[in-house]
Amino acid sequence: MSTSAKVAVTEADQYRLPTNVKATHYDVTIKTDLEKLTFEGIVKVNLDIQTETSSIVLNTSELELGKASLYSDALKAEQEPTGSSFDKSQERTTYQLSANLPAGSKAELKIAFGGKLTGNMMGYYKSSWEHEGKTKYYALTQFEPTAARRAFPCWDEPLLKATFKVTMISRADTVNLSNMPALSEEPIQHGTNTPADLAEILASTQNEKWKITKFDTTPPMSSYIVAFANGHFDFLETSVKMPLSGKTIPLRIYTTSDVIHQAQYALDVKAAVLPLYEKIFDVEYPLPKLDTLVANDFDAGAMENWGLITGRTSVFLLDPKRTDQKAKKRVMSVQSHEVAHMWFGNITTMEWWNYLYLNEGFATLMGEVIVPGKSSSRLQVYPEWKVNSEFITDHLNGALRLDAKPSSHPIEVDCPDANHINQIFDALSYSKAASVLRMLSNYVGEEKFLKGVSLYLKKKLFANSVTHDLWEGISTATGVNITQLMENWITKIGFPVLTVTEDAKGITVRQDRFFEMGAAEPKDNETIWNVPLSLLSTKDGKSSVDTTAILEEREKHIALDTSKPFKLNAGTVGVYRVLYTPERLALIAAEAAKENSPFSLDDRIGLVHDVMALSKAGLAKVSSALTLVDLWKGEKEYLVWQGIGDNLSGLISVWWEHPEVVDKLNAFRRTLFVPLVNKLGYEYSESESRDTSLLRTLAVGQAADAQDEGVIKELQSRYKGYMAGDESKIPADLQRVIFVTAVRHGGREEYEAMIMVHDKPKSPSEKISAIAAMGATQDVKLMEHMLDFMTNKTKDQDMFYFFGGLGGNFKGRRLLTKYFKEQYDVLYKRFEGNFSLHYMVTYSTEYYSTMKDCEETEAFFKDKDTSKYNQALAQTLDTIRARSAYVERATDDIVDWLKRV
């Protein structure tokens, strides 16, 4: 271990709880009062005393702590602490004891506590919904990463696993949920079933109807996946027979009565994938049930609480009468992702948050690619979805975009305190980690990869793990030294660009770190990655891929017949970019455009993203990227067109304050997408393929954004018909673009109609579409109204949708920045501790493309405490610098090329 590493460990220790005692079991009793919006309870914790001690330190935050006492088996006596102290910055309470607890003994700590059910979406909090014209509340938990301590006193670190037994006290007409099934539930009868130690808690229930629900004990688990909820919930249910255990597992999905009819699809997905995970991992699902609770107020997308998954409405609900393809994919991906966590994260848990990727990278790869790509007797739609191909744009390219910034971080990243922990739930911990694991799976073979994963899980059942544990499992299954192969991919920042040059005997491949701003300086270019080359070559008219080829040095020569088509990173499975000579790129592009090309769909998707990213970095010309796009006008696959559309939209967003460039780029966009609209029309058919539906939606959206008059008129006509009562005029997949177009080219009437949709949406997708439409208005007064609406009338969970909507509106960008700066203190206080905070920092500034704006942004934050979002801020500033350099470098090239089209 290096000296610097030793220093880091020492610094990290101050953020970790002392190890003088170990919590082994919690008995948590919690009373929820949805009328007073309060909770109170008692926690009893069984402790193993590891070293002799006269103090106990544990996590608490935002709790009112009551009486505490400790019984020691060794001392045969109960004692009350002689004193206590609270460290707000570390969120710790320390109890001082009068008598030392001997090492090797056992004790029970009992603490009374209480708190308020706030709407901050952390800890144990309230969520609201409208029922019969009245606002009603329910309560649920969100503990990851460090908020279990807001619900009850605990040792709130992932390594400190224990068993949990939850008892809930609630009003009799509500539903109680927790990780495990209820063992009993009965009305509270004072004097009959009221334990003495709960007398104080139960005193206020004497003249009302209350009940007590006792849940079964959990397996050993980390505090961040403990969950409970109380409210007026309805449910749908089914069950599955598991392939290993043969057990029948009941599955339910809970939500409020007004939207329960939209929860069936998420339940079906859960039933389809749960048995597949057990079969693939060869590890039994250990709990007796798996519920999902859909919440109206939720900070993240969803949460993998063991046995009780939770999440926001937009990731779990679908209107069965009006389902759009993107919403359907979102529900499938999220539900499958969260079920993957029942193994990755819950059975086997990272030792500390720097190994978060072991949870999230795996859940992303398994939940969104490998398992959905398998056939299932319960649900046969997934293989058609081309999930492996979609991954390239949805995850790989997004990860490379973020990782190309100087302010990126390694997948395995040091994060000692809560401020750091909250910030690493990003595209690197999720998407880059999944991409690296996907690359490894392709290199060693998926079957061996999954065998290694199974060995890893079995060795760490109900335990904690680090990176080496995973590499050990896959090494055993493959016979390959995975630690040596993968170390730099996990522990080093960035990724390589492979430069390919040719001679008479073959090709020379060189690796250098890729930056979005240009070539890396020597000091930033020291890492040598082990790069699986996935080399596609052609011989006798047949192509083959060498998956064993690997670059383990700065550069090497490979013998190859370059007169025949070839390509590195076949299938776009590698976590890198490839830079060819302009001549070779033109040959590959021309070959890829042919009907029977050796280059696959996945190759074409990757090529689009690579040429655009390389041009942004100044390693290639933008004109060469645009030439490739122009050459592929005959492309038939939606996913290639999606890559083209995303990148052209990105170019326009960079040059947003250069109208002469925007107008010409839009004209080019129209030549690409309007013919597709003319070919595909506006009507959707049940019998058409998913790709056809998605391509139509993309083409219409791109043509409308590119200001095509014919498409705009058609969408406005459909909007008018819809408002007149004909819902069929707006297919579900075109709802967003029609709403946006109506407001963008309309006035106050259309804008106010979207407010009405927002207030009473028929589905989560409809609400999000209405928010996007509100943000598209071109009227400054309506924008100002929207900002006021954001401040006073929107749910906290929806705020980043509003920021995203207005940030995508060129006329609204500077107004949004002004609002953010003026309201900074209010917004900071409102969202402090939430994941939403860093989104608002990013969404309110990342779209600028001048150094003047970069300097003004830096100046604004100079005197702010940025510790909760410093990573997002650094990435945003890097983005602005890169965009500014792009404009400076490439404007003439773009203008010249567009003149020739």
> Which residues face 210 on adjacent strands?
171
What does the DSSP assignment read for 239-262? EEE-TTT-PEEEEEEEE-TTTGGG
Reference 667, options 625, 705, 616, 722; nearest CA is 705
> Angle 690-705/735-744 helices, nearest 10 degrees?
10
Which are the contacts of 125, defined by CB distance < 8 A and separation ≥ 6?
Answer: 117, 118, 119, 139, 140, 141, 142, 297
CA distances to 566, 847, 877 from 817, rounded to whole Å, are: 47, 10, 14
Q: In the block, which residue shows the tokens 């796009």?
A: 629
The C-alpha torsion from 480 through 484 and 487 to 493, rounded to 10°, is -120
Contact, 465 vs 349, CB < 8 A? yes
3-state percent helix, strand, coil for the chain, nearest multiple of 5: 45, 20, 35
Contact, 809 vs 844, CB < 8 A? no
Q: How many residues does the chain have?
A: 901
Measured from the Cβ of residue 27, the count of other Cβ atoms closer than 10 Å reads 17
**Residue 131 identity (one-letter amino acid):** H
**Residue 130 identity (one-letter amino acid):** E
Q: Three-class SS of residue 791?
A: helix
Q: In the block, which residue shows the tokens 């579900």?
A: 732
Lookup: tokens for 507: 């090709």
Contact, 238 vs 253, CB < 8 A? no
Q: Three-class SS of residue 795?
A: coil
How far from each other are the two terminal CA atoms of the chain, in whole angstroms? 58
CA distances to 7, 9, 354, 527, 763 from 4, rounded to whole Å, are: 5, 9, 16, 18, 52
100-120 burial, b for 16+ CB within 10 Å, e for fewer? ebeeeeebbbbbbbebebebb
Reference 110, options 61, 155, 68, 165; nearest CA is 68
Radius of gyration of the chain (CA): 28
Order of all β-strands in the sheet with 21-33: 77-79, 64-72, 106-116, 38-49, 21-33, 163-171, 210-215, 182-187
Pairing relationship of beta strands 463-465 and 348-350 according to DSSP bridges = parallel
Contact, 806 vs 775, CB < 8 A? yes
**Residues carrying an active site annotation:** 338
Lookup: tokens for 736: 């967003």
Maximal CA-CA distance, the chain: 94
Lookup: tokens for 241: 């027979």
Instruction: Compute the distance between CA of residue 835 and CA of residue 832 in angstroms, rounded to an integer.
Output: 9
Instruction: Compute the distance between CA of residue 537 and CA of residue 318 in angstroms, rounded to an integer.
Output: 45
